[in-house]
Structure 1
């Protein structure tokens, strides 16, 4: 969630994983996404708070007399809540990430400013985000954050929980999933986070979001909420709006995610990282504001991507070379008149077109309006299912695809090529 510290940038995009199978979703609610970074402007002070004293009781509220009136007093809570324990165990692994870029200043500015170069180009922190340390070995620690947090940086600095600042090295980043891996010396690292299995999360379960909303002044802040939806398809377009990576699967949560939380962990009550916070929804195209709609990249996706980035410095994806749309988004009339599917087919993805003439699926004989229902024997009900299967494979692997062409069920083997997109 990258934003200049002096300006607020609103984008109609979400950077997450995708392939060249982009499609237009009829009837889908278009949203404006606020990518969290540092918001311009200050924070209004002056709010008053009333604190009630306690009498040490742990058995519920008690009453005391104040000017002849009875006033309720809050009880002392013994022990720590699960949220407190989770936070205290994990806080040392959560960091702030500072994106510093060169600013070509005037001669007068450079005279009075502390410059990192003799040419008058000083490094300034233009945005801040969050990150989480997930590995420490061989004198190095590795941090996962969002790609948009580190994009365009001339230097990256990491601020640890105790305030220690270290310069970070960018190991690699991936535009489709909006993930990046940084490396720092591990001499000051005391805590490392563990990943959980995002396939096991359930709607309604409690989660925590930890990070640096509005930057390092509010570092190590924690908010609590629930999982609103374990898998939600969200549109995924590059920050400049020129490249569309298709749709990505994200965890939806109502835990407060603010500018600066980008790249920080979404955590379950066992203290495991189940997602990396990436974006929040702020309003629809109709101008209506929304509350409590944040999104996180699932941990299983994170683990797969960071391993590839550390190993290769980039992510190479297999592709079928198709443009698709979920069957659930096709109208009843089109299902009956254009696709002519049996009534028993309830889920699947429809081929809306092909990436180019060299599309592996097209070469294998697949056609527009074919409806894919299974890959390698695994049921495919939507695009999320498809990606769960495809992205576990590598370029050159062959997959068996079961699909419907009208009322006829067919099977074809497709050898996947490398995705042409970043």
Structure 2
């Protein structure tokens, strides 16, 4: 969870891109703040060319979007920790990241146009997808819900603005573009996260710093297309990697938030599951017969894996055509699949390889 003020240290998370290099990520933080740079041209003599011009239309769009959406972005204080949130409806429901609320059940919420905080309580937290909803105890008049867009229409290269409260600087805005879509990101296990694997995330170059988590990633049509969640660091040296941030797509946010508000919980995640708990096993050179893969620790009675005959002690090494070398990798593979899908699961039991066809359940 982010912490308030410049003294806050970023929460570290592991980022796994199924089609790219492995990185480490920090929830709600990146290595730097937004900076502007201009390149000046020149003739063959080296004399400077004309100063670049700024499109008044584009600048006007930026200003209009900030004015339209920023009032819907709030600051959330949970104990001594700070994050951001988005006003979801006029009844006082606010969506944010699960790691922002942590284990707290009561909060102080500061609106963009107010210096006095409002009390709020937890509606539901769903760490599996790092989303949560809290509710203002006494919503003020004139509360302005954000408009959530169709994240399926998000295109690479599209201009975006990230809005939130980085480093305790309320109502801050950074800008960037959509760098990629459909990323699968894995967070490590921590006090505030069970090690969620989140599919279909939007990657952006907009700076996401401590305190930005739970804030809005916005297009120039004044629509929220994602909830700011993670930013990356380079796993090779632990240094921060600017310009690589991730947001949970709006379609996932609205689907899960609607369930939390209506039912007080998530009743259908739309995520595939085997119905097991696992831990990573790594083979050694001792000749003990140990296998590298996701070791099955527990099996849900009557669940998909149990029905297929998978037992505690088995080591899963492959799902479909995807090799599995760790517990987190198993989660990443399942994140690309759908409930009800039938897949072959390869596992090792007592040194012997076996394969079972499993009908995936719901996470």
1:180 lines up with 2:132 in the alignment: yes
**Aligned residue in 1 for 2:47:** none
Aligned residues: 303
**Aligned residue in 2 for 1:148:** 99
Aligned-pair CA distance for 1:77: 6.9
Secondary structure of 2:147's counterpart equals coil
1:229 lines up with 2:180 in the alignment: yes
Matching of residues 367-406 of structure 1 within 5 Å: 371-372=319-320, 383-386=334-337, 389-390=338-339, 399-401=340-342, 403=344
Q: Using a 3 Å threshold, how does the CA distance of structure 1 residues 92 and 411 change in structure 2: closer, same or farther?
A: same
1:94 lines up with 2:73 in the alignment: yes
Aligned-pair CA distance for 1:227: 0.9
Work out which of the residue numbers 106, 121, 141 in structure 2 matches 1:169.
121
Q: Using a 3 Å threshold, how does the CA distance of structure 1 residues 400 and 413 change in structure 2: closer, same or farther?
A: farther
Check conservation: 2:199, 2:336, Cα contact below 8 A.
Answer: no
1:31 lines up with 2:24 in the alignment: yes
Instruction: Tell me how far apart the structure 2 counterparts of residues 286 and 170 of structure 1 sit (CA, whole Å).
Output: 38
1:284 lines up with 2:235 in the alignment: yes
Instruction: Tell me how far apart the structure 1 counterparts of residues 112 and 175 of structure 2 sit (CA, whole Å).
Output: 20
Instruction: Tell me how far apart the structure 2 counterparts of residues 143 and 198 of structure 1 sit (CA, whole Å).
Output: 19
Instruction: Tell me how far apart the structure 2 counterparts of residues 247 and 25 of structure 1 sit (CA, whole Å).
Output: 12
- Structure 1 regions of 5+ residues with no counterpart? 16-22, 38-42, 44-71, 102-125, 325-350, 374-380, 391-398
CA shift digits 1:251-276 (9 cap, x unpaired): 11110112221111101122111100
Aligned-pair CA distance for 1:352: 5.8
- Structure 2 regions of 5+ residues with no counterpart? 34-49, 279-292, 322-331, 347-354
Check conservation: 2:6, 2:167, Cα contact below 8 A.
Answer: no
Q: Using a 3 Å threshold, how does the CA distance of structure 1 residues 265 and 356 change in structure 2: closer, same or farther?
A: same
CA shift digits 1:211-264 (9 cap, x unpaired): 12222xx32222111111112122223323884344544211110112221111
Which has the larger Rg? 1
Aligned-pair CA distance for 1:363: 2.1
Check conservation: 2:28, 2:228, Cα contact below 8 A.
Answer: no
TM-score, normalising length from structure 1?
Answer: 0.60
Instruction: Tell me how far apart the structure 1 counterparts of residues 70 and 151 of structure 2 sit (CA, whole Å).
Output: 20
Q: Using a 3 Å threshold, how does the CA distance of structure 1 residues 228 and 355 change in structure 2: closer, same or farther?
A: farther
**Aligned residue in 1 for 2:325:** none
Secondary structure of 2:109's counterpart equals strand
Instruction: Tell me how far apart the structure 1 counterparts of residues 318 and 105 of structure 2 sit (CA, whole Å).
Output: 47
Instruction: Tell me how far apart the structure 2 counterparts of residues 26 and 85 of structure 1 sit (CA, whole Å).
Output: 37
Aligned-pair CA distance for 1:193: 0.9
Secondary structure of 1:223's counterpart equals strand
Aligned-pair CA distance for 1:135: 1.0
- Give the superposed CA RMSD: 4.0
Q: Using a 3 Å threshold, how does the CA distance of structure 1 residues 272 and 8 change in structure 2: closer, same or farther?
A: same
Instruction: Tell me how far apart the structure 1 counterparts of residues 318 and 190 of structure 2 sit (CA, whole Å).
Output: 32
TM-score, normalising length from structure 2?
Answer: 0.69
Work out which of the residue numbers 253, 261, 273 in structure 1 matches 2:212.
261
